[in-house]
Structure 1
Amino acid sequence: MHIAVFSQYHTNPDCPATSRHYALLAHIAKTHRVTLLTTQAWAGQRLTKEFDWVPAGVELRVADVAYNNKMGPARRALAFAQYAAWAVREGLRIDKPDVIWGISTPLTAAWAAARVAQWRRVPWVFEVQDLWPSFPIAMGAVPTAFARQQLYNLEKRLYASARHIIPLSPDMTRYVTDLGIAEQKVTTVLNGTDLELAARATPARVEALRQEQGLLGKRVILYAGTFGRANDIPTLVEAAERMVAQDADCVWLFLGHGFYQPLIADTAQRWPGRIRLVGGQPRHAVFSWFALADVAVVSFLELPVLDANSPAKLYDSLAVGTPVVVTNQGWTKELVEREACGWFVPAGQASALVARLQQLLNEPGELQAAGQRGQQLARRAFDRQQLARVVQSILEDAAR
């Protein structure tokens, strides 16, 4: 079977990114022909060269479209349009696929997949990574009512035309079905994590990293991920400053890059060694950083659309036995409380976050027990190798 994959942002485990589709494509390409239509946007951000850029068996078609998360709305919109136009042209040139897999974000990538599927008379599967256009609209990136309505209309048409829909969280699935899409047409497939890469975070490797970073005897709080506008970074910075001012053994690590990087860098200069801007790490190395932390924070702004998301940092932290504090009101709060592997603090409340973290750092036994429960959950439900089999089955069924 020939599968054409429309994904504007391809990454691999050498990149400071979650690389979900690298794992899924690696599994699917063992038994099916896969053509990936993407861009080189992340190729220059490879930090190591341990992995091939695409998995074995994946045929690569690349558009020369630049993108980074520091771009403003207009420049991002141009990049989205450029990729979509190229993807339609390229999708009509490749050998006819049996099924098309369109991955949003952005919504325009899914539109290109749907358009090619229509013209080539093949089914397509719509993977919903984030709720578009609800997310950019909530962030103020779509200023006119007319544009917002057009995007919502496009979203509904895409859901209707897809043979099957793959949201990355239960709340995303509920959003889709609430629009009138039949439940049997929608399958939740969590973002998940790479357990084989998490296994690299051995006690010896984590201890070596701890010594290298001068963290012996320190109580470590980690935020790992994008420093984006949606991630409530100013609240974390305020909480970090309050905590390190009160506790000489407390260290906050900010691992990643993005819009608020200058804010974190300035704060780190005021608190050398206590608040640290680590920068991005390759996917295969990030698990050791999670493992050396006492607790990780998974934070977002208090927006309903963000409650539905499926953050990689949640899965990665639990995979190595580090419990989490989440600020989403949605399914992640329900998950960590039901499984007793984390805690909830409302977004934007630095004082509440400080109080919760201080309490947890003074109860290492509770942290350890929660981390063990989280690791068991990750092994049971978050393995991307298992999730890849689900996605492959969906694609095969759609093609039939």
Structure 2
Amino acid sequence: PRRRRRPKAPRPRWWGVRSPRAALVATLGALVGATLGHQPFHKVFSYMVMANANIIPHKSNPQNDNGLPHKLCQNMMVGRPVIVSTSRPLRRIVETYGCGLVFEAENPADFATKARQMVNDPALCEQLGNAGKKATLDGSFNWESSAEVLWQVYGRNNDAREL
């Protein structure tokens, strides 16, 4: 009997848009089409929209664990899922809003597993991307919601609403 061939998974194309690390791309295996290099900010949203998923591979350290990169919010806003490291704020947002997958920081094998999951499941990508977009445009993860909380805190203390 003739053996059935397993269908090939799509080959991902990788872009490093900000300050990419060639070593990270190299650890992902024999990837074709890896493009590295700085891109001007006005092009970044185009890359985000073209991507099936966007990656934020921050190391978990005191600086990254106490801040939130704008690119996470921007990725969510354009409706694309994210793959983020276990850096505390990234993990918290992604798990709270269900907008992506989380891999163990500095673990290329875990990252590759999550990337493969995204590549092989377009429906999952769509679901996660839609959740991020909804959170930023209609939900509680946007400036309007944050501003209301700030007004309540500062307004209670010094009548800041009058400003």
Q: TM-score category by the smaller chain?
A: 0.7 to 0.9
- 2:136 equivalent to 1:378: yes
Q: Which residue of 2 aligns with 1:397?
A: 160
SS in 2 for 1:225: coil
Structure 2 counterpart of 1:277, from 33, 36, 42:
36
Task: Give the gaps of 5 or more residues in structure 1.
Answer: 1-216, 228-232, 249-273
Name the CA distance, whole Å, in 2 between partners of 1:325 and 1:391: 28
Q: Which amino acid aligns with 1:225?
A: R
| C-alpha displacement of 1:286 | 1.9
Q: Which amino acid aligns with 1:320?
A: V
- 2:63 equivalent to 1:288: no
- 2:141 equivalent to 1:348: no
Name the CA distance, whole Å, in 1 between partners of 2:106 and 2:60: 7
Q: Contact between 2:77 and 2:136, CA under 8 Å: does it hold in 1?
A: yes
Alignment of 1:147-186 (within 5 A): none
Task: Give the gaps of 5 or more residues in structure 2.
Answer: 1-9
| C-alpha displacement of 1:234 | 5.5
Q: Which amino acid aligns with 2:35?
A: R
| C-alpha displacement of 1:390 | 5.6
Q: Contact between 2:79 and 2:133, CA under 8 Å: does it hold in 1?
A: yes
Point out the structure with the larger strand share: 1
With structure 2 as the length reference, what TM-score do the two structures score? 0.73
Q: Which residue of 1 aligns with 2:76?
A: 318
SS in 1 for 2:131: helix
Please list every run of at least 4 consecutive aligned residues from structure 1 whose deviation after the TM superposition is greater than 6 angstroms. Answer: none
Alignment of 1:135-284 (within 5 A): 219-227=12-20, 233=21, 236-240=24-28, 242-244=29-31, 274-283=33-42
Q: Contact between 2:85 and 2:102, CA under 8 Å: does it hold in 1?
A: yes
Name the CA distance, whole Å, in 2 between partners of 1:315 and 1:236: 23
Name the CA distance, whole Å, in 1 between partners of 2:109 and 2:146: 41
Q: Which residue of 2 aligns with 1:303?
A: 61
Question: Identity over the aligned pairs, expressed in percent?
Answer: 20
SS in 1 for 2:58: coil
Q: Which amino acid aligns with 1:276?
A: T
| C-alpha displacement of 1:243 | 4.7
SS in 1 for 2:18: strand
SS in 1 for 2:39: coil
With structure 1 as the length reference, what TM-score do the two structures score? 0.32
User: Could you list the per-position Cα deviations for residues 337-357 of structure 1 after superposition, in whole angstroms to 9, with x for gaps in the alignment?
Assistant: 232211111111112211221
Cα distance change on mapping 1:388 and 1:354 into 2, 3 Å: closer
Q: Which residue of 2 aligns with 1:338?
A: 96
Name the CA distance, whole Å, in 2 between partners of 1:378 and 1:223: 24
SS in 1 for 2:104: coil
User: Could you list the per-position Cα deviations for residues 119-152 of structure 1 after superposition, in whole angstroms to 9, with x for gaps in the alignment?
Assistant: xxxxxxxxxxxxxxxxxxxxxxxxxxxxxxxxxx
| C-alpha displacement of 1:399 | 9.1
Cα distance change on mapping 1:235 and 1:352 into 2, 3 Å: farther
Name the CA distance, whole Å, in 1 between partners of 2:49 and 2:148: 28
Name the CA distance, whole Å, in 1 between partners of 2:95 and 2:146: 27
SS in 1 for 2:128: helix
